[in-house]
Amino acid sequence: MSTGSKVVLFCCVVLAAVVIISRANLALDPVLPKNMPADSRFLPTGYDLDHNERQGTWVACQPSEYAGETFCRVTDAHGIVIFQGGFLPVRDSQSAPSAGSSTQPAKSPLRWVNGPFEGVPVPIIPMSDGTLLVPRDDRDALVDRWTQQSDEWQRLIAIQ
């Protein structure tokens, strides 16, 4: 192999490495969907090798106009809304964030449980202050269920 061929081969290898590394870097930083506020948190759940991108959910919460309630939106990595609505703290002793307090979800993954009201999985959102938020319509039924089936509740709080 001539010196010129070695130089061309070396340049091609370097260029390929630069392209691969730059694509991998883009995949590590998912793009914030347009329908999510700037303070949204991305919670990764895996990696899609076929599309070279992270999988996960975006979560954003803000104080609601209703007292004691927090409005949260959960989307997939591309911004498709999976669940949104009013959320309440699991325990009465925990208060929902007020207008000026932190409404930042924790970095831990969402938990999904079968919602009694919807009959489909609903998110349990852990907040950075340790509060667990559940959908408003499911709260009472979930608390009753967790009182009777404490093993499910223990699994939820063990992840936190």
Give 43-63 pLDDT, tens digit per residue: 988 888 888 888 899 999 998
Interval 121-148 mean pLDDT: 90
**pTM of the predicted model, to two decimals?**
0.73
pLDDT of residue 27: 52
pLDDT at 30 over 90: no
pLDDT of residue 54: 85
Label residue 29 by pLDDT band (50, 70, 90): low
CA distance 135 to 64: 13
pLDDT of residue 60: 94
pLDDT of residue 100: 46
Residue 84: which residues within 8 A CB-CB, separation 6 or more?
71, 72, 73, 74
Label residue 99 by pLDDT band (50, 70, 90): very low
Residue (of 39, 45, 54) closest to 127 by Cα position:
39
Label residue 106 by pLDDT band (50, 70, 90): confident
